[in-house]
Amino acid sequence: MTTQEMGHHSAPRMSFLNDPVIRGIIYQVVVAAILVGFIAWIIGNTAANLAAQNKSTGFDFLWRTAGFDISFSLLPWSRGSYYWEAFLVGLINTLLVAVIGIVFATILGFTIGIARLSTNFIISSLATVYIEVIRNIPLLLQLFFWYFAVLKAMPAVRNSIELPFESYINQRGIFVPKPLPDEQFGFVWVGLLLALVAIYFLRRWAKTRLEATGQRFPVFLTSLVLLVGVTALVWFVSGASVAFDPPVLERFNFRGGLALPPEFVALAFGLTIYTAAFIAETVRAGVLAVSHGQTEAAQSLGLKEGDRLRLVIVPQAMRVIVPPLTSQYLNLTKNSSLGAAIGYPELVNVFAGTSLNQTGRAIECIAITMMVYLSFSLLTSAIMNWYNARVRLVER
């Protein structure tokens, strides 16, 4: 049979609607049209309801005077400030507690996770009890415990408990000395930054040297000396100084110093303790995911247990740890909104709470708040995904 005759007997063409590619495109267009129609219906229905109630819309309220007090703010605030300033105060307060919680939860979580894998029965048991107890108690109840049962149960101001370094704790929070750096202290920050950059390149060079020659370099000790030496040198040359303003007890309250309100302390502590329990399990799972042969190979090279974890086990475990660790960072940031339950002036409390109630602009306030948390989540995910890709690249 010739090629031309075979062409006449080729299989019939598939029907247009039976083509899976065309059918998939049609399904997507239909779903997109339904979604757009549903959103348009919601917008139209909302606009009609607002018009029936004689309510205006827009973001002009952001430039109106707020007229309320905020108990804790890192930015200048008064009753004459605007609503957009209230938004910034809530945003900064949310970022503050989220960053502090992420840093300390990561340190505590890694410590507890490694401790649970310890061969010491007491250490392993204590880590297990901590994880199982903290994970199975709702976060809101834990915040209530730290706020009402611990911090609010502290003595009154006149009977404050004295802590080291001229610090005090009472029902109104923790009072610590306030650092007051002079104008020359900026040079110290520059020197510290340069030392950190130098330490980064030093670690890279030491790792390359170890892989090429097998000879170890005392990176930790050298980094410590470099960090302290450069900072001290810049401090001495620039003549920078830091004074401390300690809190002084007067008749009814402390004067001077830096006051950490109980709402902030309870929220930061509760988020750290709660999230660290989940991070600990993530770390334990990542370490156990590394093949036992890697541990045996590290032992055969004569590496100590600490070196085995730092140089062999943990770097390989990070590819398993990072994805769920990202979820825990996102959860901690979003869980900071529970601070509204104990009166901490974070974004939900200040902007989606007080500002919304006073202005009546529910759609605008909720939409801005949702976009902020969405931006937080996307930014955190982007950073962690970059780090995850870097870890995988190093492992190869």
What does the pLDDT look like over 172-225, one tens digit per residue? 888 989 888 888 888 888 888 988 888 888 888 888 887 788 777 777 788 888
Q: Which pLDDT does position 3 carry in this prediction?
A: 52
Same domain, 123 and 259: yes
- Give me the CATH number covering residue 321: 1.10.3720.10
Query: Residues 227-233: what's their mean pLDDT?
Result: 86
Domain contains 284: yes
Tokens in use for 18? 């039976």
With 0-12 CB in 10 A as exposed, 13-18 as middle and 19+ as buried, what is 21? exposed
Same domain, 260 and 376: yes
Same domain, 194 and 165: no
Same domain, 249 and 235: no
**Residue 342 clears pLDDT 50, i.e. is over it:** yes
Cα(272)–Cα(328) distance, integer angstroms:
11
Cα(185)–Cα(238) distance, integer angstroms:
8
Query: Residues 127-147: what's their mean pLDDT?
Result: 94
Q: Long-range pairs for 145-152 at CB < 8 Å and ≥24 separation? A: 146/265, 146/266, 146/269, 146/270, 147/262, 147/263, 147/266, 147/342, 150/266, 151/262, 151/265, 151/266, 152/262
Cα(47)–Cα(341) distance, integer angstroms:
32
User: What is residue 340's DSSP assignment?
Assistant: G
> Among 195, 219, 240, which residue terminates a domain?
240
- Using an 8 Å Cβ cutoff, are 332 and 278 in contact? no
* pLDDT averaged over every residue in the chain: 85
Predicted TM-score (pTM) of the model is 0.80
Q: Which pLDDT does position 396 carry in this prediction?
A: 44
Same domain, 208 and 307: no
Q: Which domain holds residue 246?
A: 83-182+241-395
Name the percent of the chain lying above pLDDT 90. 29
> Among 206, 240, 274, which residue terminates a domain?
240
Would you report the helix, strand and coil content of the chain in percent, each value rounded to 5? 70, 5, 20
Beta-carbon contacts of 91 under 8 Å, excluding residues fewer than 6 positions away, are 347, 372
Beta-carbon contacts of 361 under 8 Å, excluding residues fewer than 6 positions away, are 57, 58, 59, 61
**Residue 231 clears pLDDT 80, i.e. is over it:** yes
**Burial state string for 341-353 with b = 16 or more CB within 10 A and e = fewer than 16:** bbbbbbbbbbbbb
Same domain, 309 and 197: no
Cα(129)–Cα(4) distance, integer angstroms:
79
**Residue 42 clears pLDDT 50, i.e. is over it:** yes
Number of domains in the chain: 2
